[in-house]
Structure 1
Amino acid sequence: MKKLGILLMAGLLVTSCVPITPQMRMQKHPDLYAALSPSERQWVERGELAKGMSRDAVFLAWGPPAMSYEGNQQGKASMRWDYTGEHAVYAERYHGGDGYRGHYAHPYGDSAYGFAPELTFVPYRRASVWFVNNRVDGWERLR
């Protein structure tokens, strides 16, 4: 029983690390993929964008955006999709013991002073796609 539990946990760990690809999104949303033009299908299969692509094609190629903004550009409905990533930032922080430590504090000098490692994940904008009238008008991404 213990071996089964370990194998199950290992399997969950491995499957949680699998990146989501355009092919996986195409399999999950075959109706969206079937509605694309032949040229859009080629771009989506490569995970690339081209001017004039539909929002569904961008969704299949790059996935769902982290944020979406609506607007107006020269009298036409516009939208911007932002894709984000995260940088890990490591720091050594000093923490002091000023303040109340509670009723259950150690009576023989429970030290609340010292340095402690801290890992923070800072978000950044990885890519943006601009749509005008629901078609790609432009995009940019980090290299």
Structure 2
Amino acid sequence: MNAKFLLRASLTTLCLAMAIGLTSCTSALERRIARNPDLYNKLPTSDRMLVEQGRIREGFTKESVFLSWGRPDQVSEGSQKGTKIEKWTYVGTQPVYTDSFGWGGMGWGRGYGRGYGYYGAWDPFWGGYGPTVTYVPYKAASVTFRGNRVTEYLRGPQ
């Protein structure tokens, strides 16, 4: 193979890798806006700025909230004082760290096995001791709509 071919192939590979890297850097918010340009372009300029920041306000439509926060994890409907309401709930997860103490190797306790070499080390297959991470769901945000408009919203652990 000649040098020009190898150079072109190398540059093509590099450009392809950069393109893949750049597309993977876009956030979910940016992807929602890019996939829904008609919804985004219908918004007033002040609302576009809020959406770009991942924020909402009272009076937003369901479509505006979707652009800003994405699809809700749960939707519930009901009525309040004779008015139909819809509530969107967003769920997040947070890590909870615990220390575990259990079976290690072939014996009980801190990994004291019968010659397995796990003395004091945590082994995910046999058990043992050490920090464990569990992700616990929590209600991260909720939005209440009356007549397709936001009437109240809460963001943060609830």
The correspondence for 2:71, drawn from 45, 60, 64, is 64
2:33 matched to 1:19? no
Identify the residue that residue 105 of structure 1 maps to in structure 2. Answer: none
Amino acid at match of 2:136: V
2:42 matched to 1:48? no
Identify the residue that residue 140 of structure 2 maps to in structure 1. Answer: 126
Identify the residue that residue 31 of structure 1 maps to in structure 2. Answer: 38
Identify the residue that residue 89 of structure 1 maps to in structure 2. Answer: 96
**TM-score, with normalisation over the residues of structure 2?**
0.62
Aligned pair in 2 of structure 1 residues 84, 92: CA closer, same or farther (>3 Å)?
same
Identify the residue that residue 142 of structure 1 maps to in structure 2. Answer: 156
1:58 alignment partner, SS class: helix
| CA distance in structure 1 between the partners assigned to 2:52 and 2:103 by the alignment | 54
Amino acid at match of 2:155: R
2:65 alignment partner, SS class: helix
What is the RMSD of the two structures over their aligned residues, measured on CA atoms?
Answer: 3.1
- 1:66 Cα offset (Å): 1.6
List alignment gaps of at least 5 residues for structure 1. Answer: 98-107
List alignment gaps of at least 5 residues for structure 2. Answer: 1-12, 105-113, 119-125
| CA distance in structure 2 between the partners assigned to 1:136 and 1:78 by the alignment | 10
Aligned pair in 2 of structure 1 residues 31, 116: CA closer, same or farther (>3 Å)?
same
| CA distance in structure 1 between the partners assigned to 2:154 and 2:41 by the alignment | 27
| CA distance in structure 2 between the partners assigned to 1:113 and 1:142 by the alignment | 35
CA contact (8 A) 1:85 1:126 kept: yes
Aligned residues: 123
